[in-house]
Amino acid sequence: MIRIRQVLPSLALLALLIAFWWGVVVTTGSVIFPTPGQVVTGTIELIRDGTLWLHIGASLMRVGAGFLLAVAIGVPLGLWMGWKRAAFDTLNPIFQILRPISPIAWIPIAILWFGVGNASPIYLIFISSVFPLVVQTTAGVHTIDARYLRAAENFGVSRFTLFRRVVIPAALPQIIVGMRVGLGVAWLVVVAAEMIALRSGLGYLIIDSRNAGNRYDLVIAGMIIIGLIGLLLDGVMRLFEELKWVRWRYAH
């Protein structure tokens, strides 16, 4: 019941926005920009011919591959940089130089190195995700309360046990934040990459619908689907934040 009350304001605002959208299109008599009803009809068309599921699957596959690769490299690297001062002093300036570069700026390089297949967007997703993961993981290690480390040392634990049983669990909240940010950026990047260099995925669906007869109902449908999937992915990452073994650091 409480959850329903929490979402009611958002649903009411969403209904008002849809009504406003519909009213503006009808009032202006636009023959290009679609009404919400036409967008729903276009979405049903994509579902019936199976095109929608193919594009969604292609985008999710690329995001999954690039993001998991970023996690596999970024998290251990961030833990190492946070744990070893020399590693941080050596690598952090390089990351701070590369991190502000927009992932979109890497598209020409990705095409040059990997061509126009799946490798290019996977590389772009990796580049866009790995920096938030490294930065947040490093920050998570640096902000560990010294009491945890002193308590472990008092029990005479080895450095490996200290790292495995204290450092990694204590840094997990920040690691999850980095994963959440990285996944959101990855979802943005894959759509942009698919608009330029691929022939499948939701980004390609949008640009192809625009070029193939000004099907703006499918363009808007693709945009809404991208937003809904992004919301779902963010919700999945938020579930990780609520796990007890992630939140133990903040227990009272």
Question: Given CA atoms 114, 115, 121, 127 in this order, what sign does their dihedral have?
Answer: positive
Q: Of 192, 222, 220, which is closest to residue 32 (Cα–Cα)?
A: 220
User: pTM of the predicted model, to two decimals?
Assistant: 0.84
Confidence at residue 3, expressed as pLDDT on a 0 to 100 scale:
66
Confidence at residue 58, expressed as pLDDT on a 0 to 100 scale:
92
Q: Nearest 5 degrees, angle CA 83-CA 86-CA 92?
A: 85
Helix (H, G, I), strand (E, B) or coil at 233: helix
Q: Of 45, 95, 57, which is closest to residue 74 (Cα–Cα)?
A: 95
Q: What's the CA gap between 252 and 246, in Å, rounded? A: 14
39-250: CATH class:
mainly alpha
Confidence at residue 159, expressed as pLDDT on a 0 to 100 scale:
73
Dihedral angle computed from the Cα positions of residues 81, 82, 85 and 88, in that order, rounded to the nearest 10 degrees: 40
Distances (CA, A) of 112 to 18, 25, 81, 116, 189: 42, 43, 31, 9, 17
Q: Average pLDDT by consecutive 10-residue portion of the chain (252 residues)?
A: 71 88 86 87 90 92 94 93 90 90 87 86 92 91 77 72 78 88 90 79 88 84 92 87 63 43
Q: Of 179, 189, 144, 143, which is closest to residue 162 (Cα–Cα)?
A: 144
Confidence at residue 247, expressed as pLDDT on a 0 to 100 scale:
59
Decide if 144 contacts 95 (C-beta within 8 A): no
Confidence at residue 251, expressed as pLDDT on a 0 to 100 scale:
46
Confidence at residue 131, expressed as pLDDT on a 0 to 100 scale:
92
What's CA 66's distance to the chain center, in Å?
11
Residues with Cβ within 8 Å of 178's Cβ and at least 6 positions away in sequence, in order, are 74, 75, 78, 132, 133, 134, 135, 136, 137, 140
